[in-house]
Chain A
């Protein structure tokens, strides 16, 4: 029995060591040696081409080593860890590691290919000095505020409509929700056509304005809001509809017996009862409006003239933060500056989201 245990222990430790080694080599190949040809061991076997397999096999060997390790006390913990591992591993690979790398890149002069120097806070200073970035930040804040109000109001009204006993209510619900199923890029181009080819005929006839509203900065901004509300209100409507359906019938009936009219019922019964739904909806619209990208890109590409902003002429009159980050990195080929802006974006978004959850959760009614 004793030899069996020690044998198992040996195999376990062996697996663990080999696995860890494979993992380290694979990660090293991935981060430090992107040049494939350096690890051409034989004519047809290139070590770095197999780093993915090495990573996976290494991880499995470690898990096997852990599993067969003969222990009574830690057995349950080990099993728990093994079951959690796939999720944690994925989370680390797709979220945590890129986040850390991204923050790291923002302190260098990374150009998408290589790092020549560590430049400290230089990129952050450049980002804050950039009037375009400042403008995009303010514009995004304005967009978020307007959208939080408009999307929620429109969505709530649609939800009221869709929770009545109208005929064909299912059809309405489906058709309001439908725009949300179309991708933002496609939607942007469809609306661009509508604004530039169709609406322009009416503006020309009615206001003697022969150009598309997309060619005027302020009106293009309104156009983005219209498209965004059209796309997003249906989604938020569904959540409100669900919320409204959870309001207990007895409460409404009791209110009716007490003589409450429809308006009273709405403001004094329904709205307080669905406060938690409102929290969710406000939170969703806030973060999503902040991350506005695809409709912005397809509809105006961020263009628009601003004759005077802090003494400079700007040409990115409709460019939100996310698009500004994208165009900094991709169109202007300034990857490290884009990365620094992205980190600032992340901090703003995280702070605002935490704040809002704290504030609105106080108003929730315990059911």
Chain B
């Protein structure tokens, strides 16, 4: 009797181990589809090695819904399925990818920023010779690994402005190509605050904890590239060589940031949020804002009520003209899609080719509001910034986005210095240079 009882218990225990085991295997294999929004095209046996379904890891949460549409459309047109997983923010996408790699569950296509490609040395498929490479100039080409980055969008960054308000104030945005011109324009607009119904001239926010990516990566990027030819990598090379900053250029840049500090909304400057900043611009409370073309989607999306109330004004970009004659904005793909060598490379290539063609381009441009990197794209976005970006690109007045080649995480330290400067703890542009130089040198020394 006792023995039978022991036997029964042992069997029960063994069964529980088996069940527990099944539980874990199941939950890991469906982990991917958990984090993605449910997609009609996702197949349940994700990555069983059969190559039935492609997987793509998307790093832009704001386009998740449109990506699911893209997957559905792809299934409709070609009969092939693709499963889209969305991870928020690129930092987490890159660490998530490391997890997936360890688990042997790498997606076939995944998002990567320019300075992340080096991590994947020897793991990426060379895409050179693909049809789409003929139609674009901004694919990512590595000396050793070949063509590895598929550009799915171009994003632009400059000093975004509200064209209607500028017109009302009598300031011609084309004249804003020198610090003196900016100074005069800011003074003039500041004096007309009540007439224009604005809170402040500029919506510039140097808060470091949540908006460090804006000051530390994007605004800092203008020091590296503004006014330069896209192939000119002088300042990024200097930076990557021990964190050196060019004193005269950086001090001039610091003077310009000082001007932004002076004319920004003090409520926003030191501890505002991204939402406040974009909403303020959408409601016509700021004439300028230090964000890029991606806020166009917010203007016509989440903030569309405020934007409509402010008269659906025209938008444009002005250069960060911290030295006389600087007249370019930064535009390049801010991230790429890349293909995992050991995934289903042929199917991935077919999907990317399809993405560069007509049906997909319509979704990318009209639904996601991207500027297309493809020359033969015939769609124009309804996005408020699309026209401006195309105009700058067409005039050849654009610089590269070398800020994505800086050392990983540098923005975490530089953004704190921007905040100190905004708060007044750093008093002058010369001190701004000295303090910034200290932290970048230390950061590169580690």
Contacts and interface: CB of A to CB of B under 8 A. Distances in A.
B316 to A, nearest CB: 31
Contact of B409 (A82, A83, A86, A332): A332
B412 A113 contact: no
A316 to B, nearest CB: 8
Interface string A195-238: 01000100000000011101100000000000000000000000
Interface stretch (A57-65, A153-161, A254-262, A339-347): A57-65
Contact of B119 (A40, A89, A113, A130): A113
B446 interface: yes
Interface stretch (B93-101, B145-153, B165-173, B282-290): B93-101
Given A36-B104, A64-B14, A56 B271 contact: no
Interface residues of B, number: 56
Interface stretch (A245-253, A269-277, A296-304): A296-304
A79 interface: yes
B119 A303 contact: no
B17 A60 contact: yes
Contacts of A64: 14
Residue from A45, A63, A316, A331 with most neighbouring chain B CB atoms (10 Å): A331
Interface string A316-348: 100000000001011111110000000000000
Interface string B66-92: 000000000000000000000000011
Interface stretch (B231-239, B300-308, B323-331, B415-423): B415-423
Contacts of B50: 43-44
B210 interface: yes
Interface string B27-61: 01000000000000000000111100000000000
A334 B409 CA distance: 10
Nearest to A82: B10
A333 B412 CA distance: 13
A126 interface: yes
Nearest to B19: A56
Given A37-B49, A301-B210, A212 B271 contact: yes
A18 B30 CA distance: 30
Nearest to B103: A34
A333 B14 contact: no
Interface in A277-324: 299-301, 303-305, 312-313, 315-316
A364 interface: no
Contacts of A46: 48-49
B24 A211 contact: no
B16 A86 contact: yes
Contacts of B207: 215
A230 B347 CA distance: 54
Given A53-B21, A303-B416, A315-B417, A214 B209 contact: yes
A301 B49 contact: no
B419 A126 contact: no
A113 B271 contact: no
Interface in A30-81: 34-37, 40, 43-46, 48-49, 52-53, 55-56, 59-60, 63-64, 67, 79
A196 B270 CA distance: 10
A7 interface: no
A36 B210 CA distance: 38
B49 A211 contact: no
A348 B266 CA distance: 43
Interface string B100-122: 01111110000000000001100
B243 to A, nearest CB: 13
B48 A44 contact: yes
A264 interface: no
Contact of B420 (A49, A305, A335): A305
Nearest to A329: B95
Interface in B418-446: 419-420, 423, 425, 435, 438-439, 442, 446
Contact of B439 (A37, A89, A301, A313): A313
A305 B416 contact: yes
A48 B104 contact: yes
A312 B284 CA distance: 42
B439 A35 contact: no
B212 A301 contact: yes
Contacts of A131: 442
A206 to B, nearest CB: 17
Contact of A34 (B102, B210, B212): B102
B271 to A, nearest CB: 4
B6 A79 contact: yes
Contact of B271 (A67, A130, A215): A215
B18 interface: yes
Given A52-B24, A196-B271, A313-B442, A210 B266 contact: yes
B408 A34 contact: no
Contacts of A126: 446
Contact of B101 (A34, A85, A332): A34
Contacts of A111: 119
A56 B17 contact: yes
Interface of A: 34-37, 40, 43-46, 48-49, 52-53, 55-56, 59-60, 63-64, 67, 79, 82-83, 85-86, 89, 111-113, 126, 130-131, 196, 200, 210-212, 214-215, 299-301, 303-305, 312-313, 315-316, 327, 329-335
24 contacts: A35-B342, A36-B342, A37-B342, A44-B49, A46-B49, A52-B28, A53-B25, A113-B120, A126-B446, A131-B442, A210-B266, A211-B270, A211-B423, A212-B271, A214-B271, A215-B423, A305-B419, A313-B438, A313-B442, A315-B439, A327-B409, A329-B95, A332-B408, A335-B98
Given A35-B342, A303-B209, A313-B438, 9 more contacts: A56-B21, A212-B270, A214-B271, A215-B270, A305-B417, A327-B409, A330-B92, A332-B409, A334-B408
